[in-house]
Structure 1
Amino acid sequence: MSGLAASGAVSRSELIDLKSEIKRQNTLIQSARQELLTRGLLPDQVAQIEEGTFISTVDIVAPPAIATPIATGITKSNSVQQASLLTEVQSTDGFTYEVQELSVEMGQQVQAGQLLAKLSNHQSLYVIGHAFKREASFLEQAAQERRLIRIEFAEDDDGRWPELQQRFEIRHLSNSIDRESRTFDFFLPLTNQSRVYEKQGKSFLVWRFRPGQRARLHVPVEKYENVFVVPAAAVVREGPEAYVFRQNGDLFKQFPVHVLHEDRQSIVIANDGSIRAGSYLAQSAAASLNRVLKAQTASGEQPGLHVHPDGTVHAAH
């Protein structure tokens, strides 16, 4: 065009306008190319569009997984797999997403930034506990001292899964209180377990623990010295008194004890000399043994009889 302008075929003002138009069109092309890239198209696909070949389908790739214990060591070449396409080998090396919710239908027109689906992976979870404000100091101390927390998972068939080797500790406490329940949350990391089963030629993934599953947390808040810890079923109560049954050969004899603490599974009793270290106690039948002893006493039999584990009674030796 410079030659046309020099020959007088095109005026210099028209030449300036044409150059401005070319520059504006190149800017529009670059803007359209960048918009296609931000919508998920690859550079090769954009080049095909520029040549007149239109793209009929676009593959939406999930973002890479955040670093987790299972994701450690995953390279960029690892592609995201659907659970239905998972194999036994891939389950140990790859990071698997499941489609939790699909927000669009086939043929539906979508806009940039619109939610297409929700993907989930339950490999790394949090066990969330709820506590009242007055319990905050105990939980803070347990978190600082990294005390071991015991967890009872509801509806957990632990006989079908490997034993949990994880040590549960409080990671952090929430600094806000729920307005309705007046409780605050505290969090314990949980590394989930999974397995794969085959059906109709496809592999499906099953997690042991699921979001929303209920659990009971046992947080140690006080340390007892010089005590005995026995199962809850090893102690029987008669009014304010508590008793255990100590084994003596083939017989069991009732002894009073001082209970310091108890919960659903265990009882802490003082080492005050009522029983000696190394004594054998009935672990799970204290209530049954006590009923037999009471029946024997009510029948007028001589006191001081020993009770056998099978429920029979004999004179003291």
Structure 2
Amino acid sequence: MIAVAFVGGAGFAGYKTQDRWMPYVFPGKPPVKVDGDHEEGDGPAHGNADHAGRDHDHGHGDRVKLSTQAQANLNLDVDAIAPEAYWRSVLIPGMVVDRPGESDRGVTSRIAGLVTDIKARPGDTVKAGDPLFSIQLISEFIQSAQTELAKAAKEHEFAATKRDRTSLLVKGGTSAGADLVEAENQVKRTAGQVQIFRRQLQVFGLTAEQTDKVERGEVVTDVTVTAPARPKRPGESALVGKAVDPLFEVQELKVQLGEQVQAGQTLCLLANHQQLFVEGRAFKSEATVLARAAESKVPVRADFADEAVGDWPAQEALTIHHLANQVDPATRTFAFYLPLENQSRTFEKDGKTFFVWRYRPGQRVRLRVPVEKLGDEVFVLPAGAVVREGAETFVFRQNGDYFERKAVRVLYEDRSEVVIANDGSVAAGSFVVRNQAAAINRALKAAAGGGGGHEGHDHAGHSHEH
């Protein structure tokens, strides 16, 4: 049995190595030309191939050389690495939403009337005081208030004239001083009535110029509805040069031309998306982590969907503003909110300014909430920077046209990034490939083992690197 096993093993070894000993045992067998380029003998065509006019580059060990064209085809991203602090994060889905009281604002009619003109339409940009609608008055109360104001203004004029005449009589000694006091009181009473009626009309939408006309006896039949100003917040008045009233876009019209509206009816919706919220949806089990992050103001990174790299500046990390105290019974999740400062571009068309906002309500977001600090001096790379072979994990360090494979220890990884231990396997400042590690690894294996017959032979007129 031992002899049989020995003979069988020798036969198998001879069969596997026949490409090496067959040319010496049977030297008279002539090679055959194939396609005028390679010669075919007993072994593989590559073993006896004529490589005239061909240039091969073979990697050795854990190093491979890539031509400039190959690097361009792979679109390699190579950059120096530097240690940094890293927190392990949990991914939580979210969405951009309007900030209540900041983003949207309804414009209502203060009086009953007919819409006679629509001065701003969806997409138009308006600022505080810009005209939006013209409304023809049909309210008898407004007409009566105008009449009362004109009457009070006349009475005030007569009272002032009487006071001036009484003042001259008192100075001449023909009238008592009590008469002048009574005349002064009458002037004050009529002036107060004029101010009351003026404020009443202005509350219903008449401007100061229109109330001046009514006071002179003219009748106002149309009221212009303008874009409202944003109320000032505490401390804003002290900020020199700070714009208080933002620009609004007309988001939606709620009325049509010629429609009769009532007092308090919404005419349109204005939107200003400068201040938004990112609404995250988390499970109750994550409430403790989120509350701790909100209290400590831990930076939260947000990845926004449908954004191309380079279109906008990098978004700074966000912080959690508050957590909702209600759980959605359908999804069993609760909301938490992060303030988001929007970015915009504008363009001019037909004499009007239009906005292009970076973030829009309804846009999907992925939030990375830090939960555990993995170190202060680690290397953070994209997921495409590493490749695995069994238990080993490698990155590639660039040295000119050569790419050296380095084994590293992975502390943490997810679908987008990987954290490498700073243990000396790669040094800070090394130029490491940040993508296509798997493709470079395939090229290394092909160069090292794919052309197995190259080792130990010489090609006429060509120099090979091993």
Cα distance change, pair 66–171 in 1 and its aligned pair in 2 (3 A):
farther
1:245 pairs with one of 396, 399, 410: 396
Q: Distance in 2 between matches of 1:67 and 1:259?
A: 52
Match of 1:190 in 2: 340
CA contact (8 A) 1:231 1:266 kept: yes
2:433 pairs with one of 259, 282, 286: 282
Match of 1:212 in 2: 362
Q: Distance in 2 between matches of 1:74 and 1:106?
A: 41
CA drift of 1:118 comes to 0.9
Structure 1: runs of 5 or more not aligned:
1-28, 79-91, 303-312
Worse overlay, 166-175 or 105-114 = 166-175
TM-score for the superposition, normalised by structure 1: 0.68
CA contact (8 A) 1:166 1:191 kept: no
1:139 aligns with 2:290: yes
Root mean square deviation of aligned Cα: 3.6
Cα distance change, pair 56–144 in 1 and its aligned pair in 2 (3 A):
same
TM-score for the superposition, normalised by structure 2: 0.48
Cα distance change, pair 73–145 in 1 and its aligned pair in 2 (3 A):
same
AA matched with 2:289: F
Cα distance change, pair 114–146 in 1 and its aligned pair in 2 (3 A):
same
Match of 2:204 in 1: 39
AA matched with 1:54: V
CA drift of 1:102 comes to 0.9
Cα distance change, pair 102–170 in 1 and its aligned pair in 2 (3 A):
same
Cα distance change, pair 276–98 in 1 and its aligned pair in 2 (3 A):
closer
Question: Higher relative contact order at CA 8 Å, sep ≥6: structure 1 or structure 2?
Answer: 2
Match of 1:260 in 2: 411
- Count of residue pairs brought into register by the alignment: 259
Structure in which a larger fraction of residues adopt strand: 2
AA matched with 2:224: D
Match of 1:3 in 2: none
CA drift of 1:178 comes to 1.8
AA matched with 1:97: F
AA matched with 1:135: E
CA drift of 1:32 comes to 8.7
Structure 2: runs of 5 or more not aligned:
1-193, 454-463
Q: Once the two structures are superposed, what CA deviation does each residue of 1:21-54 show, in whole Å capped at 9, x if it has no partner?
A: xxxxxxxx99998765443234664575577643
Matched position secondary structure for 1:228: strand
AA matched with 2:378: V
Match of 1:64 in 2: 229
Cα distance change, pair 154–140 in 1 and its aligned pair in 2 (3 A):
same
Q: Superposition pairs for residues 1-317 of structure 1, below 5 Å?
A: 36-42=201-207, 45=210, 53-67=218-232, 95-157=246-308, 159-161=310-312, 163-164=313-314, 166-225=316-375, 226-247=377-398, 250-296=401-447, 298-299=449-450, 301=452, 314-315=465-466
Matched position secondary structure for 2:260: coil
